[in-house]
């Protein structure tokens, strides 16, 4: 090793910078939910490696009624030898808990794709679809989803709206000073498609702020709004099992009890 007096200071600086960039680009932990503060607002963000994680959608219990609550889903998975590792609202629903837009579970389509504009957040075009198919996940604008899956659907899919971020741009109707502030949850996908981010606001925020969390903090070029007001989180690692009104679709991470440490 050369004495300190003969070391190249520029080389040392570049080396330190490289290590900093490497740390910043490190992919998220396989199963991690963490508190995040962005623009002075509190959030919880759960990051998952798509290829290493069993991400599913759930709606109907084997008894024919909606799961409706996280604990009911956790009990069913427990009876099958599995663990509910994470869950949150997976899309909007009607009063009887049916999905408002497209819903696919285990390859079976329970509700059709809706392409027309309409009232409420769901109909604020462009809206989109979050889908999972094996080790691949995607977030696509509704018409782009239809073009990608013209015949058979992926294993799981949930249509919601509006799109928060589309190809790096915020939804055109979002206003930085928008007065409507509510609790919200959504999903974003990394540019390489390897990591999915589920986020929920822990205080009321407007759409513009929520979308910027995904684009400017999490770096996701595409993100989709899932629900609001009734949004809640199941994250045992944070000791959060939030109850409330019965839900429709639930997005969840499932782990095998046999594989648990």
Q: For residue 186, what pLDDT is reported? A: 98
- 8, part of any domain: no
- 94, part of any domain: yes
Residues of the chain with pLDDT under 50: 1-31
Tell me which residue of 103, 108, 85, 95 sits closest to 240, measured CA to CA.
85
Q: For residue 199, what pLDDT is reported? A: 98
- 11, part of any domain: no
Q: For residue 259, what pLDDT is reported? A: 64
pTM: predicted TM-score of the whole model, two decimal places: 0.87
C-alpha separations of 43 from 34, 183, 204, 213 in Å: 8, 10, 10, 9
- 19, part of any domain: no
Q: What is the mean pLDDT of the chain?
A: 89
Q: Determine the 3-state secondary structure of 140 from DSSP.
A: strand
Q: pLDDT (tens digit, 9 = 90+) per residue, 32-78?
A: 899 999 999 999 999 999 999 999 999 999 999 999 999 999 999 99
Can you spell out the DSSP letters for 210-237?
Answer: HHHIIIIIS--SEEEEEEESS--EEEGG
Q: For residue 195, what pLDDT is reported? A: 97
Name the burial class of residue 225, with classes exposed (0-12), middle (13-18) and buried (19+) by CB atoms within 10 angstroms of its CB: buried
Specify which residues 156 forms β-bridges with: 132
Q: For residue 40, what pLDDT is reported? A: 95
Range(s) of the domain holding residue 131: 28-259
- 104, part of any domain: yes
d(C-alpha 159, C-alpha 177), whole Å: 27
Q: For residue 261, what pLDDT is reported? A: 56
The total of structural domains in the chain comes to 1
d(C-alpha 131, C-alpha 120), whole Å: 22
Q: Name the CA dihedral angle for 104, 108, 111, 114, rounded to a multiple of 10 degrees.
A: 60
C-alpha separations of 113 from 121, 143, 197 in Å: 16, 9, 23
- 149, part of any domain: yes
- 114, part of any domain: yes
- 36, part of any domain: yes
């Amino acid at each position: 090793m050369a004495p300190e007096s003969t070391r190249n200071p520029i080389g040392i600086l570049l080396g330190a910078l490289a290590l900093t960039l490497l740390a910043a680009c490190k992919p998220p932990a396989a199963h991690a939910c963490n508190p995040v503060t962005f623009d002075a607002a509190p959030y919880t963000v759960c990051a998952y490696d798509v290829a290493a994680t069993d991400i599913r959608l759930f709606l109907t219990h084997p008894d024919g009624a909606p799961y409706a609550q996280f604990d009911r889903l956790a009990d069913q998975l427990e009876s099958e030898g599995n663990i509910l590792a994470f869950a949150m609202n997976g899309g909007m629903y009607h009063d009887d808990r049916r999905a408002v837009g497209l819903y696919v579970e285990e390859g079976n389509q329970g509700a059709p794709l809706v392409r027309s504009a309409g009232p409420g957040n769901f109909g604020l075009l462009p809206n989109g679809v979050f889908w999972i198919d094996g080790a691949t996940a995607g977030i696509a604008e509704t018409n782009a989803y239809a073009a990608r899956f013209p015949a058979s659907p992926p294993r799981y899919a949930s249509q919601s709206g509006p799109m928060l971020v589309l190809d790096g741009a915020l939804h055109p109707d979002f206003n930085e000073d928008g007065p409507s502030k509510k609790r919200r949850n959504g999903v974003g996908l990394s540019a390489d498609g390897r990591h999915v981010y589920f986020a929920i606001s822990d205080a009321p925020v407007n759409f513009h702020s929520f979308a910027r969390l995904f684009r400017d903090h999490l770096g996701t070029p595409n993100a989709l709004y899932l629900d609001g007001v009734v949004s809640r989180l199941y994250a045992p690692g944070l000791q959060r099992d939030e109850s409330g009104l019965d839900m429709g679709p639930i997005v969840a991470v499932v782990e095998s009890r046999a594989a648990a440490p």
